[in-house]
């Protein structure tokens, strides 16, 4: 049983055809399929692993296009359902010259938000070795209830639960609600991954020192990761912890780096779950995941940048 099942949103990012402009200045946009949970599923499949995606898309041209992208990338799309009354979510996204990201979401509501617990393909969820999710699916009902139910089904079927909150401040009614709801399912996870920004958001402390990270640690966790961009990541388990540096690359666009990182790490963990108890094996898996994140940061977009295994091994050998 090596299947990674990823739950949540899949959408189309529209990104400017030229770099470093605001959304208002952008002369034109291109489609960039994404949504962190979908990226994670594709990251796993790109490495040759079993992956499935569970979520809802609009029964429209874009929704069908996204389902085809999952299939074309080797992801089991049997957990995808379509909504005939709502559109596939869209987001206009840009990285301005000053380094700030601008987002504009079209979700009023979008199909992903309308997934109900009844519509969940539980047979797909029950096959998961790892069930992975974010927090965007927690924002609005009925998807929130579907999300909570899916976690329960996965847990009862013996899956490890993996949580990457993937904070998108603009999608929440308030930052307080974001923090409360993100933390409302914190204790149930087996594996959690946060970025430096999320660590600060959730703890209120601007530091990646171990004592700050440990505020997010729970005794039931098997693994907690704090990603540090080009610095690699810190990791924590019950028995050991450490920092694993990343690889030196020419950074172009970090979109999807976090998804490549967690997807590849989950792939390694389902292949050899004993890595969660073995420092050498775990650090080896994290090195691999860092390399996947690094490669993804060298190319534009998320899905096109997710690496195959040979590319990852080449970067690791070269270093």
Binding site for ligand ATP (CB under 6 A): 195, 227-230, 232-233, 246-247, 249, 251, 254, 256-259, 261, 290, 293-294, 297
CB of residue 67 to ligand ATP, shortest distance in Å: 23
The answer to whether 76 is a known catalytic residue is no
Q: 230 vs 272, which CB is nearer to ligand ATP?
A: 230
Q: How far is CA 274 from the centre of its chain?
A: 23
**Between 162 and 227, CB nearer to ligand ATP:** 227
Nearer to ligand ATP, 82 or 103 (CB): 103
Q: Which two tokens stand for residue 293?
A: 């994140």
**Order of strands across the sheet with 241-244?**
76-83, 51-58, 4-7, 130-133, 160-163, 191-195, 223-227, 233-236, 241-244
- Hey, which bits of the chain come out as E strands? 4-7, 11-16, 29-34, 51-58, 76-83, 90-95, 101-106, 130-133, 160-163, 191-195, 223-227, 233-236, 241-244
Which of 13, 112, 253, 259 does the annotation list as catalytic? 259
Least distance (Å) between residue 168 CB and ligand ATP: 9
Which of 196, 120, 189 has its CA nearest to residue 153? 120
* Residue 190 CA from chain centroid, whole number: 15
Residue among 122 and 249 whose Cβ is closer to ligand ATP:
249
Least distance from C-beta 134 to ligand ATP, angstroms?
10
> What is the distance between the alpha carbons of residues 252 and 248, in angstroms, rounded to a whole number?
12
In contact, 15 and 238? CB cutoff 8 Å:
no
Smallest separation, CB 51 to ligand ATP (Å): 18
Residues acting as catalytic residues: 259
């Amino acid at each position: 049983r090596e299947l990674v099942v990823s739950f949540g949103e899949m959408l189309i990012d529209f990104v400017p055809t030229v770099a470093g402009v605001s959304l208002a200045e952008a002369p034109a946009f291109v489609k960039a399929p994404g949504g962190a949970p979908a990226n994670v599923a594709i990251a796993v499949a790109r490495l040759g692993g079993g992956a499935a995606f569970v979520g809802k898309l609009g029964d429209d041209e874009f929704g069908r296009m996204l389902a085809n992208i999952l299939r074309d990338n080797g992801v089991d799309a049997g957990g995808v359902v379509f909504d005939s009354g709502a559109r596939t979510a869209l987001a206009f996204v840009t990285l301005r010259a000053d380094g700030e990201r601008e987002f504009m979401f079209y979700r009023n509501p979008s199909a992903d938000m309308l997934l109900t617990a009844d519509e969940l393909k539980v047979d797909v969820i029950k096959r998961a070795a790892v069930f992975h999710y974010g927090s965007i699916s927690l924002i609005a009902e009925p998807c929130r209830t579907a999300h909570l139910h899916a976690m329960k089904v996965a847990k009862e079927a013996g899956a490890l639960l993996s949580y990457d909150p993937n904070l998108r401040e603009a999608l929440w009614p308030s930052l307080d609600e974001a923090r409360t709801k993100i933390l409302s399912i914190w204790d149930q996870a087996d594996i959690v991954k946060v970025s430096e920004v999320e660590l600060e958001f959730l703890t209120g402390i601007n530091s990646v020192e171990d004592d700050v990270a440990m505020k997010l640690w729970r005794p039931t966790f098997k693994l907690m990761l704090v990603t540090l961009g080009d610095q690699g990541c810190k990791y924590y388990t019950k028995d050991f912890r450490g920092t694993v540096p990343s690889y030196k690359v020419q950074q172009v666009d970090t979109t999807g780096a976090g998804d490549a990182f967690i997807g590849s790490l989950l792939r390694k963990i389902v292949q050899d779950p004993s890595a969660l108890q073995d420092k050498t094996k775990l650090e080896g898996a994290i090195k691999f995941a860092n390399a996947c994140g690094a490669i993804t940061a060298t190319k534009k977009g998320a899905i096109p940048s997710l690496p195959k295994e040979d590319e990852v091994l080449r970067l690791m050998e070269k270093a």
